[in-house]
């Protein structure tokens, strides 16, 4: 249907490997990958409890419909921004960026804060890219992101992918990205 993507074969946004094994564990930020997870859960539940099949399939169908609508809403907001880069502290959004045609640049790599040299390079690159917004997650130390923001004039924008309301969290993320680029265009005259 064009909304799904195969994480194993998809080129992934740079700076997204944050697991100790170099693999990005944040699959839930991609509605397409959540669809795949839901299918696995449905199939496993049916294998364990065949009598519950009608209920599992009905719930799965409703959930997939909601995810499809979420994807449509996000695409509507972000399609005009395809190819643009979002700047983040913790590399949580790689799969989201892959699915919606964005690129993620992260300050933190492989779960480690940046070295002073890496931070200086990041600040230089952020200035060249005229970064206006850096996404930070409340669950992580933001001191390195604050240094980049102070040095570049960027604004820190908080967003958590761990909110209880998954659908609202993803809609909020798309809105924050769209607002960040709208604000950037307003200040740069683009």
pLDDT tens-digit map of 141-151: 888 888 888 88
**Rounded to whole angstroms, what are the CA distances from 58 to 20, 73, 102, 108?**
37, 23, 33, 41
Give me the pLDDT at residue 185, please: 61
What pTM did the predictor assign?
0.79
* pLDDT in the model for residue 109: 75
CB 100 within 8 A of CB 74: yes
pLDDT of residue 69: 98
Neighbouring CB atoms inside 10 A of 163's CB total 14
158: number of Cβ within 10 Å: 10
Helix (H) / strand (E) containing 55: helix 53-78
Strand (E) or helix (H) holding 69: helix 53-78
pLDDT at 141: 80
Q: With contact defined as beta carbons under 8 Å apart, do 87 and 105 qualify?
A: yes
Residue 125 has pLDDT above 50, yes or no: yes
The pLDDT assigned to 8 comes to 34
Burial grade of 58 (CB within 10 A; 0-12, 13-18, 19 or more): exposed
- Report the Cα–Cα distance between both ends of the chain, in Å, rounded: 34
CA distance 88 to 152: 14
Each residue's pLDDT tens digit, 132-170: 788 888 888 888 888 888 888 888 888 888 889 999 999
The values of phi and psi at residue 11, to 5°, are -65, 135
């Amino acid at each position: 249907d064009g909304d799904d993507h195969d994480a194993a074969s998809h080129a992934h946004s740079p700076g997204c490997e944050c697991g100790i094994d170099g693999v990005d564990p944040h699959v839930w930020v991609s509605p397409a990958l959540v669809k795949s997870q839901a299918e696995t859960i449905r199939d496993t539940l049916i294998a364990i409890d065949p009598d519950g099949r009608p209920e599992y399939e009905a719930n799965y169908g409703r959930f997939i419909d909601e995810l499809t609508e979420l994807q449509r809403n996000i695409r509507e907001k972000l399609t005009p921004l395809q190819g643009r880069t979002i700047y983040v502290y913790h590399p949580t959004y790689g799969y989201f960026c892959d699915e919606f045609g964005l690129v993620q640049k992260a300050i933190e790599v492989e779960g480690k804060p940046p070295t002073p040299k890496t931070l200086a390079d990041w600040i230089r690159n952020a200035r060249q890219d005229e970064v206006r917004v850096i996404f930070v997650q409340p669950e992580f130390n933001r001191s390195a992101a604050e240094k980049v923001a102070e040095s570049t004039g960027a604004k820190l924008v908080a967003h958590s992918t761990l909110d209880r309301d998954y659908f609202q969290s993803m809609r909020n993320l798309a809105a924050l990205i769209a607002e960040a680029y709208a604000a950037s265009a307003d200040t740069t005259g683009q």
